[in-house]
Amino acid sequence: MQTKLEIILPAHNEEGNIRPIYEKIVWALETTDYAYTILFVDDGSTDKTLEQIKALATLDNKVKYIELSRNFGHQNAIKAGLDASTADVIIMMDCDLQHPPVLIRDLLSHYELGYDIVRTRRLENEAAGFIKRKTSNLFYKFLNQLSDITLEQGSSDFRLVSGKAIDQLKSFNEYDLFYRGLIKWMGFKQVSLAYYPEQRLNGQTKYSVKKMISFGLKGFTSFSTKPLYFAAYLGLIFSLLSTLSIPYIIHAFYMGTQVPGWASVIAAIVFFGGLHLMILGILGIYLSKLFTQSKSRPHYIIKESNL
């Protein structure tokens, strides 16, 4: 009996990349012995992405699709594909061709060696740009310092998951999904493969600076309470430091010494006011996650599917 394999591809405004990624996946799998399907998850595209997917589905019954009612985000689109899948092995990858389809064979070969999860990590080249490389490095350094997991530099959403690991991954129901961290946190027998990203064939990246910052915050707050401890310790340290001024105040009171300098007082007020706002902001982020989770809204809404 053939092993069932499913390729899950979240797609948002990728009309120019649908057919090329399909052709390359078919080429990568033509010499393998898997009963495979290619599942596109249209994440609220406003171009002709869905039309391209439907056209492929009429030509090849191995092509399946899920249309979400709006743009729910990359991680939620992955969850939609995961929840719908009944395959023994799942490979998740992006539609922009920066995750090289040729690497699928390596993922499968490591699965055949007995690995439950095969992760990938992106090796940045000069084409990525200096700022992007530096911000990526900082992201992983801060994440590893502040969280309870350790992610490799360049960890990506291109991965293979199989067996019981799929069932476990489906069971996660937290609202702010961060699959890169969840995959590493789960355990099981894992291995990581390195790859150089290919050039995006069509369209523009969906990860703006704002989205990258938001994604980073999700990673920090999903896997660590260290920012809360940092805020508490910082408040304690400054409270203790403030006691150093007590002897001076007592001395000035008894000696009748005037305390000059309103500028220093204003500077102290501004500094500690900013510190308080920062701590309140950290608390607010965690409280907002609890508030959002408490509403138990679905991660996505399916508008149409051919499953």
According to DSSP, the β-strands at 117-122 and 190-195 are: parallel
The residues, any chain, with a CB within 8 Å of residue 203's CB and separated by 6 or more, are 13, 14, 15, 16, 17, 96
Structure tokens at 180: 């890169």
Pairing of strands 117-122, 63-68: unpaired
pLDDT tens per residue across span 134-152: 666 666 666 656 666 667 7
Most distant CA pair in the chain, distance: 94
pLDDT digits (tens, 9 = 90+) for 96-123: 888 889 899 999 999 999 999 999 988 8
Report the candidate in 192, 219, 224, 212 with the shortest Cα–Cα distance to residue 136.
212
The C-alpha atoms of residue 11 and residue 19 are separated, in whole angstroms, by 12
Cα–Cα dist 140/131, whole Å: 14
Query: How far apart are the C-alpha atoms of 243 and 26, rounded to whole Å?
Result: 70
| Dihedral pair phi/psi, residue 61, rounded to 5° | -75, -5
Q: What's the pLDDT score for residue 263?
A: 47
Task: Please work out, in degrees rounded to the nearest 5, the angle formed at the alpha carbon of residue 205 by the alpha carbons of 199 and 207.
Answer: 130
Residue 154 confidence (pLDDT): 74
Going from the first residue of the chain to its last (307 residues), give the mean pLDDT of each consecutive group of 10, the final group possibly shorter: 90 90 92 91 92 92 93 90 92 89 92 92 66 60 63 81 90 82 86 81 55 58 62 64 61 59 58 68 69 74 90
